[in-house]
């Protein structure tokens, strides 16, 4: 279907050509920051699991239950990021450029993200709190699960809004900032996890480190987008001029 659609629009979907160095450089410029962003998230979650495994059988069992359900709920925020990446480029750099509408779209995404995050946080926290026997019948594991309900809710509630902000930055091609931000959050988060683990704060300490990781992403992205010189307010920052396709 994609090939047929391209052919109908005048493109030759079956054309094969060797990419030039400029093409490879362009691809690398876009893909490298996105790769760093994804790897920073995965690496930080992996670090939490690593430190949790050193806290005993019951603790790691409880953490596996909570982190798996956490990942299940965070997926619900991805459509907000995809929406920003789909509609923001036209408003930021398209022929009908309109920063006012871009700001309105961002405001709508943040509001929807906040509402969705609150709903996900309530539902996601209620399941292991009220129905822990769905996952395990071991009371010691359940007790460990209940210790992290508060940080579980706080970190989950901000995730959809943070994803919408990151999607907007990616749509605006602010890739350098995104990669530096995620690298910094990962580095500081890893240091906090190390301190928490060595300080004997247990599994709740690891989850409070996750709160810092998630909320730092949210506030840094928000500050970047609300900056007077940012992509949503600078009328002169249009690096992408309309050109004829070759």
User: Does residue 118 belong to any structural domain of this protein?
Assistant: yes
Over range 45-69, report the average pLDDT: 92
In this predicted structure, the answer to whether residue 246 has a pLDDT above a threshold of 50 is no
- Rounded to whole angstroms, the maximal C-alpha distance in the chain is 66
pLDDT digits (tens, 9 = 90+) for 182-229: 999 999 999 999 999 888 898 999 999 999 999 999 999 999 999 888
And the tokens for 61?
A: 């069992």
Name the more confident of 171 and 242. Answer: 171
Most confident of 8-17, 29-38, 51-60, 117-126: 117-126
- Tell me the pTM: 0.84
Tell me which residue range forms the domain holding 145. 30-226
Look at the chain and report how many structural domains it folds into.
Answer: 1
* Start-to-end C-alpha separation, the chain: 23
User: Residue 74 domain-assigned?
Assistant: yes
For residue 231 the two structure tokens come to 């992509």
Whether the predicted pLDDT of 2 surpasses 90? no
Q: What is the pLDDT at residue 240?
A: 47
Question: What angle is formed at CA 13 by the lines to CA 10 and CA 16, rounded to 5 degrees?
Answer: 125
What is d(CA 101, CA 147) in angstroms, rounded to the nearest whole number? 43
Provide mean pLDDT across the span 42-66.
Answer: 91
Compute the distance between CA of residue 167 and CA of residue 13 in angstroms, rounded to an integer.
28
Domain annotation covers residue 187? yes
* Res 236: pLDDT: 57
Q: Is residue 21 part of a domain?
A: no
Token pair, residue 9, equals 């629009």
Could you report the per-residue pLDDT of 140-194, keeping only the tens digit for each?
Answer: 999 999 999 999 999 999 999 999 999 999 988 888 899 999 999 999 999 999 9
Contacts of 74 (CB under 8 A, 6+ apart): 156, 159
Q: Is residue 10 part of a domain?
A: no
Nearest Cα neighbor of 81 from 159, 175, 180, 185 is 159
Name the packing angle between helices 57-74 and 21-53 (round to 10°): 140
Residues 44, 17: Cα–Cα separation, whole Å: 39
Query: pLDDT by residue (tens digit) across 83-111?
Result: 999 999 888 887 888 889 999 999 999 99
DSSP string, 51-114: HHHTT-HHHHHHHHHHHHHHHHHHGGGHHHHHHHHHHHHHHHHSTT--HHHHHHHHHHHHHHHH
Q: Does residue 244 fall inside a structural domain?
A: no
């Amino acid at each position: 279907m994609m090939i047929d659609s391209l052919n109908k629009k005048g493109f030759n979907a079956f054309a094969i050509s060797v990419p030039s160095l400029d093409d490879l450089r362009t691809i690398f410029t876009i893909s490298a920051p996105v790769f760093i962003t994804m790897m920073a998230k995965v690496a930080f979650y992996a670090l939490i699991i690593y430190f949790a495994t050193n806290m005993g059988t019951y603790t790691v069992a409880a953490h596996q239950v909570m982190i798996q359900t956490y990942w299940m709920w965070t997926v619900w925020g991805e459509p907000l990021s995809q929406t920003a990446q789909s509609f923001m480029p036209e408003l930021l750099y398209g022929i009908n450029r309109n920063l006012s509408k871009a700001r309105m779209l961002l405001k709508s995404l943040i509001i929807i993200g906040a509402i969705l995050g609150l709903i996900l946080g309530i539902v996601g926290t209620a399941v292991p709190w009220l129905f822990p026997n769905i996952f395990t019948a071991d009371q010691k594991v359940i007790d460990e699960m209940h210790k992290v309900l508060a940080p579980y809710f706080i970190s989950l509630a901000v995730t959809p809004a943070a994803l919408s902000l990151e999607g907007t930055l990616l749509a605006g091609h602010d890739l350098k900032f995104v990669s530096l931000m995620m690298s910094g959050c990962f580095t500081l988060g890893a240091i906090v996890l190390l301190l928490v683990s060595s300080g004997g704060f247990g599994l709740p300490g690891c989850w409070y480190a996750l709160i810092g990781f998630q909320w730092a992403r949210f506030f840094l992205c928000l500050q970047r987008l609300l900056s007077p010189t940012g992509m949503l307010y600078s009328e002169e920052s249009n690096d992408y001029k309309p050109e004829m396709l070759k």
